[in-house]
Chains A and B, each alone.
Chain A
Amino acid sequence: MVTFLQQVLNGLTLGCIYALVALGYTLVYGILELINFAHGDLVMIGALVSLTLVRTLQGWGTPLPVALAGGLAGAMGVCVLLGIALERLAYRPLRHAPKLAPLITAIGMSMVLEQSSALLWGRGYHSFPDLGLTHSLTLGGVLISPLQGVIVLGSLGLLGGLLWLIQRSALGRAMRATAQNPVAAQLLGIDTERIITLVFVIGAALAAVAGLMVGAYYQVAHYTMGFMLGLKAFTAAVLGGIGNLSGAVLGGILLGLLEALGAGYLGDWTGNLFGSNYKDVFSFATLILVLLFHPSGLLGRHAPEKV
């Protein structure tokens, strides 16, 4: 039982991070019907930038909370700028091109971001500065680190606030209108290009937060870390129903739980033949199964293409 709760907690932590990233995929897909392959790499850049900044600031003797805030702010700034640049320079010129074009551009941009990071930060692993938040408390046998608490509460707060904003505010309404019918939205006087930029900004900012969180959680950052994370977050978005914001959050958390529990117990069930080294297979199998049996996801609506 204790192991179970422990795995649930670990899964929840992971799931919250997936949810933050998944939201970025789903927001962009909801409006542009484009898989932004470079989104996972923004998370990686968020992690590396915040790592570098926190280290530097700490080196100057800045107290940890300030260094952290500085790292987060810097990472968000860099990611948001990159997100905007990505949209402007790569995707916008292809808005009316055949569908293959933006997809190929997306994979190309992902490669560019990854290899540029390899040039800037090298191909090695970077250890994340110790935030002093890993000293765990025990709660009925379950180990909880303050960091886990910060990740879960922080991301849930962020996600809740964002969902509320999009459901309630005028800006959110404009976003939803653009997602549903860009042409009609434009006729109603909505500046759809601005909305699209905004979507990239939100996604990139969330990616930066997620980057700092994964970096701190696993205490390591690396220029290829965005790839698997991105794949999983996309799976989460599909699981929840791509284009659906609450779905992305739900899918992220479910996938995190699935992965933690699956990886935790699979080894026991199979006499350690299939252990946690297969955990990445879980999310992929989930993706295939969802696509096979319920491609519109848990909360998604199946909207047929208009003919």
Chain B
Amino acid sequence: MSLLEAKGISKHFGGVQALQNVSLTVEPASIVGLIGPNGAGKTTFFNVLTGVYVPDEGTLTFAGQPLPAGQPHRVARAGLVRTFQNIRVFPQMSVLENVMVGFHGRTHSGLLGAWFNGPAVRREEREIREGAQELLKWVGLQEMARRVASTLSYGAQRRLEIARALATGPRLLALDEPVAGMNGAERGHMAELILRIRAAGIALLVIEHDVRWIAQLCERITVLDHGQRLAEGTSAEIQANPQVIEAYLGHGSHG
């Protein structure tokens, strides 16, 4: 059974048809690439997937269950989490607190817990803290735990977003242009991180403009153009596809 199955997704904004009949599947613990020129609808697809937008048409199935449309927190709790193209860490919280927020959906202490602050609550809080520190180590930010998130470099903020997303305990992690604006060495580090995440049994759906970078990472790639699925196939197939080359050259490519 596929982990994620999106069928016939359409979404429009006023006169703009941002997505039209787009389908895509992600197998468990695989890496899938989503590419396409600017304005192709990639981010919109993520927004529909994660419940930020409600699709006009189409169905979304995750691990055999329909995904709740328009309810981001329930999508996240179902195991599908994302990062944002225009980085959205909680800017004035510390790096550690950012990741601790990610644990919210998996922890339970409520109002009375906060007030009485009993042993169970304190233990949970300690577990959250230790878990968050563990994740920061994982993405290489352990030295920065106490820093205010907005003071981090661009690349570090991207990794923080990933750590925060991992804290929710996802089965599918969706990354929106995780290496945008990064140099070669940083791209290498990000690829290594992505492979490590996959090795931990988490599937990834990655948006990226740089076809070569994504091709070395992914099993399968889907290409969007003008809101429609232009092609789908293995990395090699996509790189050889004349339509894809045309679409990229026609729009002026990034990579």
Contact = CB atoms under 8 A, between A and B. Distances in A.
A294 interface: no
Which of A301, A303, A304 is most buried by chain B, counting CB atoms within 10 A of its CB?
Answer: A304
A307 B14 contact: no
A307 B43 contact: yes
A193 B13 CA distance: 26
Contacts of A307: 43, 47, 52, 84
A301 B13 CA distance: 10
Contacts of A301: 14
Interface in B40-56: 43, 47, 52-53
B47 A303 contact: no
* Interface footprint category on B: under 10
Interface string B88-104: 00000000000000000
A304 B43 CA distance: 14
A180 to B, nearest CB: 9
* Interface footprint category on A: under 10
Which of A303, A304, A307 is most buried by chain B, counting CB atoms within 10 A of its CB?
Answer: A307
Interface in B16-54: 43, 47, 52-53
A304 B52 contact: yes
A30 to B, nearest CB: 15
A226 to B, nearest CB: 35
B14 A304 contact: no
Contacts of A304: 13, 52-53
A304 B55 CA distance: 12
Nearest to A302: B54
Contacts of A303: 13-14
Contacts of B43: 307
Interface in A282-307: 301, 303-304, 307
Contacts of B53: 304
Nearest to A305: B52
Nearest to B82: A307
Nearest to B47: A307
A304 B84 CA distance: 16
Q: Which 4 interchain pairs have the tightest Cβ spacing? A: A307-B52, A304-B53, A307-B47, A307-B84
10 contacts: A301-B14, A303-B13, A303-B14, A304-B13, A304-B52, A304-B53, A307-B43, A307-B47, A307-B52, A307-B84
Given A301-B14, A303-B13, A307-B52, 7 more contacts: A303-B14, A304-B13, A304-B52, A304-B53, A307-B43, A307-B47, A307-B84
Interface of A: 301, 303-304, 307
Interface of B: 13-14, 43, 47, 52-53, 84
